[in-house]
């Protein structure tokens, strides 16, 4: 019975001279472990180079922090925060082999909005659910400060719109907003 393939801990031990002899014999005789040993050697060398690199000065760090400070803005009042986008985080149960699978979105804030966007031949269909269900009577889809479509919210918080144009829109639900949503 032979040894199992060496894991990366054993490979790093071998490279540093602390490896056990049976593991070293296996690495030398196994093409897969030899290939992984070369990858581990590259990682180890990159780590050693990074440790030798000069550290940035406090002035350089402060300058970088000032450059990026503007990118982290607190959410604007009334705007909902995106917490799920199935295009960015596809779940196994949601994946589809269709050419244009539906996109599932969830926004949280003072209310919760769940959307399903499905691309059709004449535009995008939107099905939505609001929680709490009585938070608004109407949902507006706007672009360039004009209303594209309105939909009434049902007693259970459901709404839908069909054939929306493929473009960037803002959705208004009472005082809550979802901005910069691209319908595609």
pLDDT tens for each residue of 74-86: 556 788 988 888 8
Query: Are residues 57 and 85 both part of a single domain?
Result: no
Average pLDDT, the chain: 83
Q: Which domain holds residue 48?
A: 8-69
Query: Are residues 116 and 162 both part of a single domain?
Result: yes
At residue 151, does pLDDT exceed 90? yes
Query: Are residues 100 and 168 both part of a single domain?
Result: yes
Query: Are residues 64 and 30 both part of a single domain?
Result: yes
DSSP assignment of the chain equals: -PPPPP-HHHHHHHHTT---HHHHHHHHH-HHHHHHHHHHHHHHHHHHHHHHSPPPPHHHHHHHHHHHHTT--PPPTTBPEEEEETTTS--TTT---SSS--EEEEEESSSEEEEEEEE-SSSEEEEEEEESTTS-SEEEEEETTEEEEEEEPPTTSEEEEEEE-SSEEEEEETTEEEEEEEP-
Query: Are residues 101 and 174 both part of a single domain?
Result: yes
Query: Are residues 14 and 36 both part of a single domain?
Result: yes
Q: Which of 34, 69, 104 is the last residue of a domain?
A: 69
Query: Are residues 145 and 57 both part of a single domain?
Result: no
pLDDT in tens, 91-116: 555 455 556 788 999 999 889 999 99
Query: What pTM, to 2 d.p., does this model score?
Result: 0.56
């Amino acid at each position: 019975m032979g040894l199992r393939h060496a894991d990366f801990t054993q490979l790093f031990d071998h490279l540093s001279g602390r490896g056990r002899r049976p593991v070293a014999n296996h690495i030398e005789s196994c093409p897969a472990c030899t290939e992984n040993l070369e990858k581990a050697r590259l990682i180890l060398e990159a780590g050693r180079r990074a440790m030798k690199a000069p550290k940035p000065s406090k002035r350089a760090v402060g300058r970088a922090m000032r450059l990026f400070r503007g990118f982290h803005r607190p959410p604007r009042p009334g705007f909902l925060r995106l917490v799920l986008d199935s295009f960015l985080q596809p779940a196994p149960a949601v994946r589809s082999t269709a050419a244009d699978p539906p996109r599932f979105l969830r926004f949280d804030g003072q209310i919760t909005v769940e959307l399903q966007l499905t691309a059709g031949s004449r535009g995008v269909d939107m099905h939505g659910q609001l929680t709490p269900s009585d938070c608004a009577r109407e949902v507006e889809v706007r672009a360039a400060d004009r209303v594209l479509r309105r939909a009434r919210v049902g007693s259970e918080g459901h709404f839908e719109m069909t054939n929306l144009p493929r473009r960037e829109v803002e959705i208004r639900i009472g005082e809550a907003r979802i901005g910069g949503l691209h319908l595609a």
